[in-house]
A and B are shown apart, each in its own frame.
Chain A
């Protein structure tokens, strides 16, 4: 089996938009003018901005060429750990583009948008059922804003109790957004070291938890791909001191249908719809980060909320304890439509199968890689597995080199240098939508790279060679930032 998936094909160089443009072209079909011109008061008039001018052909060719420089889930396996790049079903794009959804104004009178309100209410119910929590807001615009919503709920809850708190426990395996979101509420993040088994130990939490601490943020399964088996006991410890438990649900895709977050003792959880519910990531968004809570925290959810009365759906602002608004309107509705369509396509049984196969795929890679790479924790994992470059470093080869060399084989690299607790981490998450033969090709590529690291390490250090560009100088980019193109000639 030839593990090289990458083939050299013809791709095209493409200049920047303003290098392509020629004054006098236009790609837009201006609507017929059916009203007279109204002169602009002189004091207000200004020269229009220097926007390049392209014909429609130029424009399409420009972006199609750029698109060909990307590797995406639709072109190749994309095993970015904790980013969960699973297949994005095409039917979901169709649903989001329906005129009733895509061309609906957010401030339509409620009588004119019942279908959209019903979808929001229905998706809230589905996510409550899936997580085991009681109430849901779909407003946060991405996972990090869902985290912020969660921290604001902590903040509002403690203030309501009459005892604002100043600290928050954040495990050392957490996503960087966790401490950053907590800091926005004025919380000081107190790191909790994970134990030798890669998971949190109740004693460590008990030592740090006090009545100045608002609670704890736990990602479960964590970023080492391990289930936090003591989570229920940790929740009891935190609750006993009046604290709350935040669940970072980024990795919910591993435990669908198996775990009841409410039973565990999680008070607030956010979900990343692109991870678990197959919405496309768009090269960096848009996402959606619904926040799910227990009944006692429901009054704090963002407003407005959809309520159902006498067979009609309405927006309600009547939640005086709410943390307020996070987005101007109701959240990333277009993303919500896709997630809703995905859940309906799957049903309960297939969603459970998603977790089974995601975990099977990750373990299959874990077992297949441990002969060549150093596992961070050599025991069964959930949705992702973490290795390091410990066995390659003696050959002068680092995780970065391994990642870049994988590109020459036609695979997007895994997440690298995260979690921070594993030096030189390679965090691999295949997802359930990769087939056995694709995983076998990936394993063969990784084995070939391990052999190259021993025998021809320069192949790795000089990689990639098959991409549009060779290694890019990131130091130069940061030292002398060039963040916009040259100003146009006067």
Chain B
């Protein structure tokens, strides 16, 4: 007997009799022989629950989590402490095992939680509306650029080379088959993108910059927004670390029309890269071209406040090939976690935590510089920055890693011209002793 399958032999027999079939296999008579497998499936198992635990513990033991090592990796996924209260409410069965809230009267919990998420996201990003979530920061950027193409009717976009390279690759996957041209804006020696490089704002649908960018540097977003708007283009602001907006100005307040990025930092474990949270916010005027689900407030027959999925005429199940996106299932539970995390911090907690993140990174930056390991770029940063390590550090990097100290991310993998450049991240989970250990290890 398998514990997930409730049927007793007697029940199965009674049900077969009701259906008028004498054997379970006869239920599959409609499958023609030429469609059938020629041999049964060969799979491991079945494992008992105990055996499964042993097997999975064995696999998991061969991965080094940030909790067991000194890992200074950011680059799109950030180690942050998740309060138990946030983890606990996110694990409530009623949230975890519900479907998309198609029937609002039975789904008010999910719907109100997502409405709250949309509201907190809009406030955090400084824009008027936010959707119920996308898959991740990279696909959110791709969808933002497609939205800009729909809004402007122009079929080219400009993207800064300091936007996370993996985001740019996802954008390419979405844009290239549709024949949308991608123009790249190079970054300068300050580690940021010069708005003066944007010469063709009249021909493009949008300019996309990320702030803080992939090198950790804050971009001159306001200047990009101004240039884009002069040419009738949209300013798309990407991000991978939304905690920065607890300290620095939000993308919307700097003039961005769409803010899109990764929300994993907000109460979601890194999980080897996913599931994360695609955050997406825009102006109310553009809402009918927005991708993704939206929850709206309404009232019931008795006038009581309630929430429903709304503006679904944008979506694939109504509009099919004319939909604003093909997205259906998104990352709702992660959105709920992000809202719970933000509310757990609150306004002051968010500010304090953001400040602490920056201070840890600044401490590390100064400590390294004192050892002769200089920051690569002068632009201000949040909780990660790029440093130039001594030539030939690569070998030491691997040796240190095997001993449980991951000295950042070697940017040469993404930017061949940036040899010996390492992207280092420090957050509240790194204690001073961890930072000092890294400083001691990378001494030239």
Query: In the complex, what residues of B have CB within 8 A of residue A473's CB?
Result: 298-301
Check B27 against A356 for contact (C-beta < 8 Å): yes
Check A104 against B92 for contact (C-beta < 8 Å): no
Check B123 against A49 for contact (C-beta < 8 Å): yes
Query: In the complex, what residues of A have CB within 8 A of residue B340's CB?
Result: 59, 63
| A141-157 to B contact mask, C-beta < 8 Å, 1/0 | 11111011000100100
Shortest Cβ distance from residue B413 to the other chain A in the assembled complex, whole angstroms = 9
Query: In the complex, what residues of B have CB within 8 A of residue A147's CB?
Result: 326
Check B41 against A351 for contact (C-beta < 8 Å): yes
Check A59 against B85 for contact (C-beta < 8 Å): yes
Query: In the complex, what residues of A have CB within 8 A of residue B113's CB?
Result: 63, 66, 283
CB of B32 within 8 A of chain A?
yes
Query: In the complex, what residues of A have CB within 8 A of residue B83's CB?
Result: 27-29, 56
Check A229 against B31 for contact (C-beta < 8 Å): yes
Check A280 against B330 for contact (C-beta < 8 Å): no
Shortest Cβ distance from residue A48 to the other chain B in the assembled complex, whole angstroms = 4
Given A28-B346, A326-B173, CB of A130 within 8 Å of CB of B135: no
Taking each of A51, A335, A413, which has the highest tally of chain B beta carbons within 10 Å of its own beta carbon? A51
Given A34-B432, A327-B135, CB of A74 within 8 Å of CB of B94: yes
Check B98 against A281 for contact (C-beta < 8 Å): yes
Candidates A21, A99, A278, A327; contact of B274 at CB < 8 Å: A327
Cα A444 to Cα B287 in complex, Å, equals 44
Query: In the complex, what residues of B have CB within 8 A of residue A85's CB?
Result: 97, 99
Cα A434 to Cα B245 in complex, Å, equals 47
Candidates A52, A78, A99, A472; contact of B105 at CB < 8 Å: A472
Q: Is the interface of A mostly helix, strand, loop or mixed?
A: loop
Check B170 against A328 for contact (C-beta < 8 Å): yes
Query: In the complex, what residues of A have CB within 8 A of residue B333's CB?
Result: 280, 282-286
Shortest Cβ distance from residue B132 to the other chain A in the assembled complex, whole angstroms = 7
Given A70-B95, A142-B329, A186-B178, CB of A17 within 8 Å of CB of B116: yes
Cα A425 to Cα B336 in complex, Å, equals 32
Check B345 against A91 for contact (C-beta < 8 Å): no
Check B98 against A189 for contact (C-beta < 8 Å): no
Query: In the complex, what residues of A have CB within 8 A of residue B110's CB?
Result: 66, 70, 283-284
CB of A367 within 8 A of chain B?
yes
Candidates A180, A259, A474; contact of B37 at CB < 8 Å: A259
CB of A8 within 8 A of chain B?
no
Q: Which residue of B lies closest to A147 (CB)?
A: B326
CB of B351 within 8 A of chain A?
yes
Query: In the complex, what residues of B have CB within 8 A of residue A415's CB?
Result: 102
Query: In the complex, what residues of B have CB within 8 A of residue A56's CB?
Result: 83, 85, 344
Check B40 against A104 for contact (C-beta < 8 Å): no
CB of B199 within 8 A of chain A?
no
Shortest Cβ distance from residue B215 to the other chain A in the assembled complex, whole angstroms = 15
Check A469 against B104 for contact (C-beta < 8 Å): yes
| B294-319 to A contact mask, C-beta < 8 Å, 1/0 | 11111111101011101111011111
| B337-354 to A contact mask, C-beta < 8 Å, 1/0 | 001101111111111111
Cα A83 to Cα B271 in complex, Å, equals 25
Check B19 against A363 for contact (C-beta < 8 Å): yes
Cα A85 to Cα B101 in complex, Å, equals 13
Check A481 against B272 for contact (C-beta < 8 Å): no
Query: In the complex, what residues of A have CB within 8 A of residue B344's CB?
Result: 27-28, 54, 56, 59
Q: Which residue of A lies closest to B351 (CB)?
A: A48
Check B320 against A180 for contact (C-beta < 8 Å): yes
Residues of chain A from 322 to 361 with CB closer than 8 A to chain B in the complex: 323-335, 337, 341, 343-354, 356-357, 359-361
Shortest Cβ distance from residue A275 to the other chain B in the assembled complex, whole angstroms = 10
CB of B375 within 8 A of chain A?
no
CB of B227 within 8 A of chain A?
no
Taking each of B52, B105, B312, which has the highest tally of chain A beta carbons within 10 Å of its own beta carbon? B105
Query: In the complex, what residues of A have CB within 8 A of residue B86's CB?
Result: 59
Query: In the complex, what residues of A have CB within 8 A of residue B60's CB?
Result: 95, 98-101, 115
Query: In the complex, what residues of A have CB within 8 A of residue B34's CB?
Result: 232, 263-264
Query: In the complex, what residues of B have CB within 8 A of residue A351's CB?
Result: 41, 43
CB of B167 within 8 A of chain A?
yes
Residues of chain A from 56 to 78 with CB closer than 8 A to chain B in the complex: 56, 59-60, 62-64, 66-75, 78
Cα A18 to Cα B41 in complex, Å, equals 53
Given A101-B272, A107-B75, A332-B274, CB of A343 within 8 Å of CB of B45: yes
Query: In the complex, what residues of B have CB within 8 A of residue A46's CB?
Result: 247-250, 253
CB of B323 within 8 A of chain A?
yes
CB of A184 within 8 A of chain B?
yes
Query: In the complex, what residues of A have CB within 8 A of residue B76's CB?
Result: 106-107, 328-329
Check B296 against A481 for contact (C-beta < 8 Å): yes
Given A98-B57, A113-B64, A474-B310, CB of A106 within 8 Å of CB of B77: yes
CB of A161 within 8 A of chain B?
no
| A29-61 to B contact mask, C-beta < 8 Å, 1/0 | 111011111101100111011111110100110
Residues of chain B from 101 to 135 with CB closer than 8 A to chain A in the complex: 101-110, 112-116, 118-120, 122-124, 126, 128-130, 132-133, 135
Check B59 against A115 for contact (C-beta < 8 Å): yes
Q: Which 9 A-B pairs have CB atoms at the shortest separation, nearest pair first?
A: A329-B273, A100-B60, A106-B273, A282-B333, A284-B332, A115-B62, A53-B346, A347-B46, A103-B65
